[in-house]
Structure 1
Amino acid sequence: MTEPTERDPLIKNASQVAPLNRSESKNGPLDISRSRRYGILAGIWSATFLSVVFPSISSDFNKSNQASWLGTSYLLAICTFTPLYGRLSNVLGRRGANQIAVILAGVGTLACGLSNSMELLIAARFLAGLGGGGIFTTASIITSDMYSIRSRGLTQGIASVFNGLGMGLGGPVGGLISDWIGWRWAFLIQMPLFFVSLGLTQYNLHYVTPGKSKSAKEVLKRIDYGGSFTLLMAVGSILVFLSTRYNEERPWKDTSVIVPLVLAGLFAIAFVLVELFLAPEPVLAPFLLKQKIPVLIGLSNYLVALCNFTVMYFFPMWFQTVALTSAATAGLHLMPNSVSMSCGSMFAGWMMHRTGRYKMINLIFGCFPFIGALLITFMKEDSPPTQLWLSIIPLGFGNAVVLQTTLIALLAHLPESSMAVGTGFGQLFRGLGQVSGVGISSAVFQSILDRELRKRIHTPDADQMIRQIRHSARLVASLPPDIQRAAKDSYAIGLKAVFTLAACSTFLAYIIRLPVPEKALEHRPRRKRSSLAEGNSFHKPNSATDISPSTGDVNGSDEDHASAIAVRQSRPRRLSMFEDGDGLMDLEGDRIGGSARQHSTLGGSL
């Protein structure tokens, strides 16, 4: 062995020495390996597979009149708290926000399985909804991080297969489990999936997103508590009003009707004021409300979700009350909808990935939901089986295409720094539509059903009989022939009204989407100057002209430059985006990964 000389390097193979700063070994979302990317996708998608709600649960507690709140409480939580996850993904990191959502959903699902009262079960469903909406939002944000705008549609389409399977299999499989070993196990059996999701994201989700880290105290200050609370109270009060006025048939002058209606108006005004003037980082970003594309897509999302949930909530009821099938058979009629939604999402994603366009797909297939809603509206007892089983397919396929293309359209017209906030913005309108699809359609249905039953039933105990028929769809099959005929006809008229409402909402959504312009989708990811590429120095633009707000590319057009200046001047508050030259916007730093926590180093803390 020869002695070293002064010409020999002190370190013979520097590439084998671990870096002193571990953050230097952290990749950006566009630079991670394929196996790690697939591990992340498996983690976030396994959580989105979960979907179970069983109206028959209420029979164990003898409180069937509260059964509707099992679904409504879940949707209420999704509607009011999902927008927060766009912010949390910025200030806590992608992994932190996703795991909070999964933990909340898991704890809520566990509490559902262990509930010993209807009130506790409703509260547990609300807790599960706090995480359920966040799972979908964070999954969408993480996917947007890792793929180019042109590839996101295809990836989101694959994700929708898991969503569709969860929706399609949740009812039938859960019903079998409920019949075999009890409804509690339909919730408890989901718990392993939550642990699988947490384990996969904990191991794989460590990519770096550039920006500036904040302390836990600063993170808590940036959450819009006022906006979330006022939105929760406004939507919740509306649902209470609809329930007391139309489901419980209380008169307008009743205090239980007047008070929630007044509170809904007051809290709605308070929400707007908080978002516009008080919240440091509002859940409903005001600058998005000033832009045409986000507003149009938000309104479309609302109407599409209203149509979806109106049909999903009442479609099985038609088969129970008009066709007099069993509850299990009625639920199976939703399977074609789930399959068609999965196929529609995959088709839209593949077409956008192949062509780089979304508007023509939306124009052609965006009319399918209206056609499907019309086919459903005109169903009759003697309709052929093909109409009864297949009429829902155009609706599911078309709505899936619409939701996929509008999401990509929204992201394509926002700067990279607004992806998380923009995703939460779109989810807020979808959540409002979901709640409206159950609440408004239920009010319309119950009002018409009560009117039609009173026209047809004139027995001495008519009031009690009508109340029982309205509150129990299962009762129709066991009624005497003459009363059964009256109930079937009344249900048919009421259900036709809500299906017409769904058709009108999806047609209006189609009209609203027409002005959304086409924009070519980038085929290659826009690589940010991340820590890996630039030696951990994140580029900060010196002026509004450095980055185009619509594309994120250097040297944008004059129109883009003017838009950037206008946006900056109109938002003095921080909006949880990328660090800019003025230091007004920030998110997790280049020294933190998906967990939004600083990494320790060999030489000490960073």
Structure 2
Amino acid sequence: MSDEEREPLLQARDGEDSEQQVDNKQYKQGPLEISRATRYGILAGIWAATFLSSLNTTLVATLLPGISSEFQKSHQASWLGTAYLLATCTFTPLYGRLCNVMGRRGANQTAVIFAALGTAACGFSQNMEMLIAARFLGGLGGGGIMTTATIITSDMYSLRERGLTQGVAAVFNSLGMGLGGPVGGYISDRLGWRWAFLLQLPLFLLSLMLTAINLRYVTPGKSKSTKEVLKRIDYTGSFTLLLAVLSFLIFLTTRFSEEYPWTSAAVLVPLTCSGVFAVTFVYVELFVAPEPVLAPFLLTQKIPVLVGISNFLVATCNFSVMYNFPTWSQTVMLTSASEAGAHLIPNGVSISCGSLFAGWMMHRTGKYRRLNLIFGLFPFAAAILLCLMREDSPPAQLWLSILPLGFGNAVVLQTMLIALLAHLPESAIAVGTGFGQLFRGIGQVGGVAISAALFQSVLNTELHKRIHREDAEEWITRIRHSATLVAHLPPDLQRAARDSYAISLRAVFIMAACSTFLAYLARLPIPDKSLDAGPERAPSVHENPLEVTEGPAEDDAEEREHEDAVPIPVRPQLYPKRRRRLSMYESTDGGQDLEHEEIGGSARPVSFMPSSRRSVSISGSAQA
């Protein structure tokens, strides 16, 4: 954590001196003491960046035909999605620690700068390889924006207020993800695909300005050096995970998109490397990393494993559909990119509604299992409806079939997060949240990559079945490499291409249906658990500005001295104590120090910890 953010909210001195400091405002304000205008300025800055990060997740879905046709590399188009998601998946976990090293503002602005540079590089790319690298650079910042925004929001709001605030944040996230396709298609049709990236830059600049002006509060923290905090980052685990997933993506590309034979080195080498790096990643997480990304003790527990499997399969289903549904409109229905993107608007709206509905229902009832059992089948129904689409399907089916997908998946992701948190001790909440997000991130990458491999493999087979002429191979290659070419083909070739694309996309939708149904089966054993409860929150300096105590309670003095914590004067609660429900995503990563042994928790079981840390650590495995 930066020196500025490590300073105490109030200096503990004599009662008279403390009162004088309070009266004269001669102390730096904490996150709960800042003015409403400052808080709204911070939220505007981080939510603008959050919207852009989500937008870039699905933006290329409707840009793929135009981009791949310009560069004549449609078979490599899936990399534009997987490169961004791969960077997001593997580097997002690092930003939680960076918030304590660089400070909240430094970590957030670093993420925004990476995202902005990647977006600008996309707009000026001259070939597919440069564009893929630019998307990876943008993903380095995209995931960090989400993490830092959640931590900052957690800083500024009490648990009582945070559920609604996170719900509003989820709306910006959902809108960005839902509008990425429509906005990208609309701009691509009128200005060209490059402007879909370049027009985002002013909003990135606005986000940086708002956080630079407003994000200046200080947070309490333990007096750990930057070196000690950096040691806890799982560099080796993140790097081996990156190489394992990247190698597998290369294998999918060379075998199914490039159609190399199984005996080719271009297929065998990346497949072998993927297996080696995957085993290395597991070994590092189990025995080497001081604070592993994949918490080993959670792998021995039923609920976290089932939630992880569900998150992976749900994300696979969601991204398989979102990245391929616009292609149906452009290649089978022969619509424009903007109209193809508009077909994703119902999905974006339903995601937002599903998130808010799930949060409201869990807050009202304190239950999540029934919600999951009912609405968890919605994505399966949506995938079946998509499989049944035809060229002559009624408009209602073409436009509304995707509605249950977004709503159902939003409800499932909300309920599974709460189910995970409800079955973990307080010390393992931060670790458990990261555990669930890791599986979800891998599922997003897998959804785009595996569906692309399946699509290209089936498309190649179907085109060979339908095109029989002397120059068949040349035409098949051109059709596979340029989706926009379908609308301009001679009638006989166009019919063959449209039918081939329809069958290939139907195979993807069937895969999505199987994925979401398996996810539903994986969630069935997860029981309900009361959401009332939880440890009472410590009084906040925000809750009564009229009374100040001289220091920490005597009961905690020995513990705070042992932890080398900065004493923070606290004020009595203004509101009566109230039992809470985990109504929405409530991260404890922000207002409570990530480096704190109890709150931040540890991903490493006690048996693997150095002896110096075992005596003070409260491991999730020890409590589970």
* CA-to-aligned-CA distance 1:376-418 (integer Å, 9 cap, x gap): 1111122111111101000111111111222222233334444
Q: 2:203 aligns with which of 175, 193, 208?
A: 193
Which segment drifts farther, 169-178 or 119-128? 169-178
Whether the 8 Å CA contact 1:149–1:521 is kept in 2: the answer is no
**Number of the residue aligned with 2:50:** 48
> Is residue 17 of structure 1 aligned with residue 51 of structure 2?
no
Q: Secondary structure at the match of 2:335?
A: coil
> Within 5 Å, which residues of 2 pair with 1:226-375?
226-375=236-385
> Is residue 488 of structure 1 aligned with residue 498 of structure 2?
yes
> Within 5 Å, which residues of 2 pair with 1:80-479?
80-144=90-154, 152-205=162-215, 211-479=221-489
Whether the 8 Å CA contact 1:287–1:567 is kept in 2: the answer is yes
TM-score with structure 1 setting the length: 0.82
* 1:573 Cα offset (Å): 5.8
Unaligned runs of 5+ in 1: 1-9, 544-549, 553-560, 586-606
Rounded Cα–Cα distance in structure 1 between residues aligned with 2:418 and 2:527? 12
Label 1:488 to 1:568 Cα distance change in 2 as closer, same or farther (>3 A).
Answer: closer
**Number of the residue aligned with 2:595:** none
Give, as a single letter, the amino acid of the residue that structure 2 aligns with 1:370.
Answer: F
* 1:207 Cα offset (Å): 5.7
Rounded Cα–Cα distance in structure 1 between residues aligned with 2:515 and 2:220? 41
Rounded Cα–Cα distance in structure 2 between residues aligned with 1:37 and 1:524? 27
Whether the 8 Å CA contact 1:345–1:400 is kept in 2: the answer is yes
Label 1:425 to 1:36 Cα distance change in 2 as closer, same or farther (>3 A).
Answer: farther
> Is residue 510 of structure 1 aligned with residue 520 of structure 2?
yes
Rounded Cα–Cα distance in structure 2 between residues aligned with 1:283 and 1:524? 25
Whether the 8 Å CA contact 1:85–1:424 is kept in 2: the answer is no
> Is residue 582 of structure 1 aligned with residue 616 of structure 2?
yes
Q: Secondary structure at the match of 2:324?
A: helix
Give, as a single letter, the amino acid of the residue that structure 2 aligns with 1:410.
Answer: L
* 1:148 Cα offset (Å): 6.3
* CA-to-aligned-CA distance 1:351-399 (integer Å, 9 cap, x gap): 2233333222222211111111111111112211111110100011111
* 1:527 Cα offset (Å): 1.8
Label 1:133 to 1:17 Cα distance change in 2 as closer, same or farther (>3 A).
Answer: closer
Q: Secondary structure at the match of 1:49?
A: helix
Q: Secondary structure at the match of 2:609?
A: coil
* 1:127 Cα offset (Å): 0.9
Give, as a single letter, the amino acid of the residue that structure 2 aligns with 1:17.
Answer: Q
Which segment drifts farther, 201-210 or 180-189? 201-210
Which segment drifts farther, 53-62 or 451-460? 53-62
Unaligned runs of 5+ in 2: 1-13, 543-547, 561-580, 583-587, 589-597, 620-624
Label 1:509 to 1:78 Cα distance change in 2 as closer, same or farther (>3 A).
Answer: same
* CA-to-aligned-CA distance 1:515-572 (integer Å, 9 cap, x gap): 22323334899423667887564948969xxxxxx999xxxxxxxx9xx999863451
* 1:208 Cα offset (Å): 5.8
Rounded Cα–Cα distance in structure 1 between residues aligned with 2:521 and 2:183? 38
Give, as a single letter, the amino acid of the residue that structure 1 aligns with 2:328.
Answer: W
Which segment drifts farther, 184-193 or 202-211? 202-211
Label 1:524 to 1:21 Cα distance change in 2 as closer, same or farther (>3 A).
Answer: farther
* CA-to-aligned-CA distance 1:88-117 (integer Å, 9 cap, x gap): 345555444333322221222222234344
Rounded Cα–Cα distance in structure 2 between residues aligned with 1:218 and 1:374? 52
* CA-to-aligned-CA distance 1:325-348 (integer Å, 9 cap, x gap): 223222211111111111111211
Whether the 8 Å CA contact 2:118–2:137 is kept in 1: the answer is yes
Which segment drifts farther, 254-263 or 517-526? 517-526
Q: Secondary structure at the match of 1:131?
A: helix
Whether the 8 Å CA contact 2:293–2:603 is kept in 1: the answer is no
Whether the 8 Å CA contact 1:86–1:423 is kept in 2: the answer is no
* CA-to-aligned-CA distance 1:50-90 (integer Å, 9 cap, x gap): 12333223555555454332222111111221222344345
TM-score with structure 2 setting the length: 0.80
Whether the 8 Å CA contact 1:105–1:129 is kept in 2: the answer is yes
**Number of the residue aligned with 1:501:** 511
**Number of the residue aligned with 2:577:** none
Rounded Cα–Cα distance in structure 1 between residues aligned with 2:72 and 2:500? 26
Whether the 8 Å CA contact 1:280–1:574 is kept in 2: the answer is no
Which segment drifts farther, 144-153 or 362-371? 144-153
Q: Secondary structure at the match of 1:300?
A: helix
Give, as a single letter, the amino acid of the residue that structure 2 aligns with 1:465.
Answer: W
> Within 5 Å, which residues of 2 pair with 1:563-578?
569-572=606-609
* 1:266 Cα offset (Å): 0.5
Label 1:145 to 1:421 Cα distance change in 2 as closer, same or farther (>3 A).
Answer: farther
Give, as a single letter, the amino acid of the residue that structure 2 aligns with 1:119.
Answer: E
Whether the 8 Å CA contact 1:49–1:162 is kept in 2: the answer is yes
Whether the 8 Å CA contact 1:210–1:530 is kept in 2: the answer is no
Rounded Cα–Cα distance in structure 2 between residues aligned with 1:566 and 1:442? 34
Rounded Cα–Cα distance in structure 2 between residues aligned with 1:423 and 1:437? 21
* 1:448 Cα offset (Å): 1.7
* 1:42 Cα offset (Å): 2.7
Whether the 8 Å CA contact 1:165–1:339 is kept in 2: the answer is yes
Rounded Cα–Cα distance in structure 2 between residues aligned with 1:318 and 1:478? 16
* 1:204 Cα offset (Å): 4.5
Whether the 8 Å CA contact 1:300–1:513 is kept in 2: the answer is yes
Label 1:89 to 1:458 Cα distance change in 2 as closer, same or farther (>3 A).
Answer: same
